[in-house]
C-alpha cells in the first residue's frame, strides 16, 4: 500500500472514532448502590416514587428545591434532591428516570424523566440546575 492510502485510512478511522465518541451515549442505568461506588460521577437511575415517604417542595421558601424518596430497581431507597421546581404530576408517574450523582446518602438529581402510565401521554421531562 502507498503511504498516502495508509494515512487516508488512518484519518478515516480517527474521524469515525471521534464522531462515535461525541454523538454516542454509552450511559447505562444503574442502581443507587452501584452509583455510590463512584461518588460525584453522573448516572441514570430508574426508580419509583415512594409515596409513603415525605416529599417537600415550598416555592415560597425556595422554588428550585424539591426533595423526595425513590426506590431503585434493586429495592434500595434513597433521598433524591432536585434543584428545580417540582415536576407536575410526579405522583402519577409510573417510573422515574433520574440523572445525577450520589453525594453521601443523597442522590443529587439534575434531570427527571417521568414515565406516565397512560399510553396517550408523552413522557414528561423536568430539568434542574446543575448542583
pTM of the model: 0.70
**Angle at the Cα of 80 (from 125 to 37), degrees rounded to 5?**
110
Q: What is the CATH number of domain 27-127?
A: 2.40.50.140
Confidence of residue 72 (pLDDT cuts 50, 70, 90): very high
Instruction: Tell whether the model's pLDDT for residue 14 goes beyond 80.
Output: yes
Q: Residue 18, class by beta-carbon neighbours within 10 Å (0-12 exposed, 13-18 middle, 19+ buried)? A: exposed
| Those residues with Cβ within 8 angstroms of residue 122's Cβ, 6 or more apart along the chain or in another chain | 116
What pLDDT digit, counting tens, does each position of 36-45 carry?
A: 888 888 999 9
Helices (H) and strands (E) in the chain, counts: 2, 8
d(CA 82, CA 2): 57
User: Is the pLDDT confidence value at 32 over 60?
Assistant: yes
Amino acid at each position: 500500500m502507498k503511504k498516502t492510502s495508509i494515512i487516508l485510512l488512518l484519518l478515516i478511522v480517527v474521524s469515525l472514532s471521534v464522531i462515535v465518541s461525541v454523538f454516542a451515549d454509552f450511559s447505562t442505568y444503574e442502581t443507587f448502590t452501584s452509583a455510590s461506588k463512584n461518588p460525584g460521577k453522573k448516572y441514570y437511575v430508574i426508580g419509583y416514587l415512594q409515596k409513603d415517604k415525605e416529599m417537600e417542595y415550598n416555592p415560597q421558601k425556595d422554588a428550585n428545591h424539591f426533595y423526595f424518596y425513590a426506590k431503585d430497581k434493586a429495592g434500595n431507597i434513597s433521598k433524591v434532591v432536585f434543584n428545580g421546581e417540582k415536576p407536575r404530576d410526579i405522583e402519577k408517574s409510573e417510573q422515574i428516570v433520574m440523572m445525577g450523582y450520589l453525594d453521601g446518602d443523597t442522590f443529587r438529581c439534575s434531570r427527571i424523566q417521568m414515565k406516565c402510565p397512560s399510553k396517550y401521554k408523552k413522557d414528561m421531562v423536568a430539568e434542574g440546575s446543575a448542583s
